[in-house]
Amino acid sequence: MNGNGRPALELRSLSKSFKEKKTGRTLEVLSGLDIEVRPGRLTCIVGPSGCGKTTLLRVMGGLEAPTSGEVFLGGKPVRGPGPDRGMVFQEYALFPWRTVLRNVTFGLALKGIPAREARERAEVYLGTVGLSGCEDLYPRELSGGMKQRVAIARTLAVEPSVLLMDEPFASLDAQTRNGMQEFLVDLWMRTGTTIVFVTHSVDEAVFLGQDIIGLSRRPARIVERLENTLGYPRTRTDPEFTGLRARILEYLVKEMAMERKI
């Protein structure tokens, strides 16, 4: 954790529109967002479904170019994807033809790390996500939660300065999801990685986030910014927890209601 004042990741008046292929109309998805992600912190972004959360994260990751505005990583403007911003997708995106170990060494080899060292480093990260002993399995042999942990290990192994996660636990069953949330908090406390976590679940945002950013419905603007000072591990029955959740839910419900009126 570098304690200096500069944000790890910064978005300045960032907007993004898509041209709809069929109609030719432009669809505004992100509208003038200013976001500062502080280093070493766990930042959650919540918003109603379809508001542009994935788009926002993809712009941060460099997979999508902003229509206007800029993204800075450690003060430098971002152009295109790169190993300094690790991404974890909802769909896991593991390479099915590679074993667990070779999924994790993929990015290491690209960094020019020699095979032996890459192997050792991959084993360390697989240990970090609790998957020691699974090195030689293929992705199809893993459960959803295990797949996502491999994906996290693969991303962490290249040691990005920011970890970007797009609803990584959304396709897991409720029980596994809770387990993975606890796992992520624990992992984050051990590694100190800067994390940006996108979700449409208020509960998940309050359980994980130190900084919580609430987005409006599309085009997404920031309508809520708050700090969650509850210590970890958090208990969902804690009155402060439920209070915070209620507050964010209230704004989300308002956003949804407005949508219905239109």
Partner 1 sequence: MKKWKVLSPLIVLALWQLLAGLGLLGKSTPTPVEVAQGIYQLTVTGFPPGYRLPGHIAASLGRVLLGFGMATLFAVPLGILMGWSPAFDNALDPLVEVVRPVPPLAWLPLALTWFGLGMFSSAFLIFLGAFFPIVLNTVSGVKSVDPYLVEAARTLGAGEATVLARVLAPAALPSIITGMRIGVGIGWMTVIAAEMVGVKSGYGLGYMILTARDVARFDYVVAGMVVIGVIGFLMDRLIKAAEKRVLRWR
Ligand X SMILES: Nc1ncnc2c1ncn2[C@@H]1O[C@H](COP(=O)(O)OP(=O)(O)OP(=O)(O)O)[C@@H](O)[C@H]1O
Looking at the chain, the number of H-run helices and the number of E-run strands are 7, 10
**Partner from ligand X, Mg ion, partner 1, none contacting 27, C-beta within 5 to 8 A by type:** ligand X
* CB of 228 vs ligand X, minimal distance in Å: 21
* CB of 106 vs partner 1, minimal distance in Å: 6
**Partner from ligand X, partner 1, Mg ion, none contacting 104, C-beta within 5 to 8 A by type:** none
Q: What is the DSSP string of 64-110?
A: S--SEEEEEETTEEP-S--TTEEEE-TT----TTS-HHHHHHHHHHH
Binding mask 22-61 for Mg ion (x = CB under 5 A): --------------------------------x-------
* Cβ distance to partner 1 smaller for residue 3 or 80: 80
In sequence order, which residues have a C-beta less than 8 Å from that of residue 167 and are 6 or more positions away?
53, 54, 90, 198, 199, 200
**Partner from ligand X, partner 1, Mg ion, none contacting 111, C-beta within 5 to 8 A by type:** partner 1
Interface with partner 1 (CB under 8 A): 61-63, 80-83, 85-87, 89, 91, 93-98, 106-107, 110-111, 138-140, 151, 154-155, 158
* CB of 21 vs ligand X, minimal distance in Å: 7
Q: Tell me which residue of 212, 183, 177 sits closest to 42, measured CA to CA.
A: 212
CA distance 122 to 155: 10
